[in-house]
Structure 1
Amino acid sequence: MEIQTEEAVVKLILHGGNVRKEAYTAIDAAENYQFKDAEHHLHLAEEEFKKGHVWQTKLVALRQEQVHPNAPSFLLIHGQDHIMTAQAELNLAKRIIHQYQVQAELEERISALEYQQNSQKKS
């Protein structure tokens, strides 16, 4: 199957956008302490990134075959920027979700301590 530069770039943009959507959905879930849901959306984001990376590899191979492989087009730069920005946002989403997990654990510990303290006062 022969691919064209424009097709590969559109796929980069598509999958990059999907990565970002899933990463932000994961953050939204984590914000509500729905960590299983957050993990699910992170997994979907990772899968989309892998698909985008496949197209990125195809694009690099295609560019090597062209007469002027070092002459990037605006569309090519835009597509590459999309997938790399999506990867950075996915990594950031993972860190944010981890912080929400820590926060949830601390809130549980505080609640348990408050309950324990209130129980001791009543005794």
Structure 2
Amino acid sequence: MAEENNENMQSVMGLIINGGNAKSSAFEAIAAAKKGDFALADKKLKEADNFLVEAHNGQTKMLTAEASGEHAQVTLLMVHSQDHLMTAITFRDLAGEIVDLYKRLAEK
């Protein structure tokens, strides 16, 4: 049971860390685009995507375990990790749109 809780905690922390890193990279992409550095903006968006893939893999592992009958204890930290990830995904999507807008403005 302790091993299961430890593994669950690692998964939860992975969602928080990777979600936070993804959001930070997306924010850096917006800042780079604002300065006209679109190569860096694109690099940062790709970086955000990579962090989100890592988080998604962790989330999928948790969901697969749940579907297999390994029910995890739902804690406030677990709920927070899911919220953190969903916010990061939304922020990444929005950052992509903002970078595109800066690119269009730069073309004119």
TM (norm. structure 2) is 0.88
Higher CA-based Rg: 1
Aligned-pair CA distance for 1:62 = 2.6
Amino-acid identity (%) = 34
Cα distance in structure 1, aligned partners of 2:102 and 2:26: 14
Aligned to 1:74: 76
Render the CA deviation track for 1:47-81: whole Å, top value 9, x for unaligned. 11000000000111233333x45x63211111111
Letter in 1 for 2:43: H
Aligned-pair CA distance for 1:40 = 0.4
2:34 aligned with 1:31 = yes
Q: Please, which of 90, 93, 96 is the counterpart of residue 91 of structure 1? A: 93
RMSD over aligned Cα atoms: 1.6
**SS of the residue 2:36 aligns to:** coil
Aligned residues: 103
- The answer (yes or no) to whether the contact 1:23–1:93 under 8 Å persists in 2 is yes
Cα distance in structure 1, aligned partners of 2:94 and 2:39: 18
Aligned to 2:63: 60
Render the CA deviation track for 1:57-108: whole Å, top value 9, x for unaligned. 0111233333x45x632111111111111000000000000110111111xx
Letter in 1 for 2:106: A
Q: Which segments of structure 1 move beyond 6 Å, counting only runs of 4 or more?
A: none
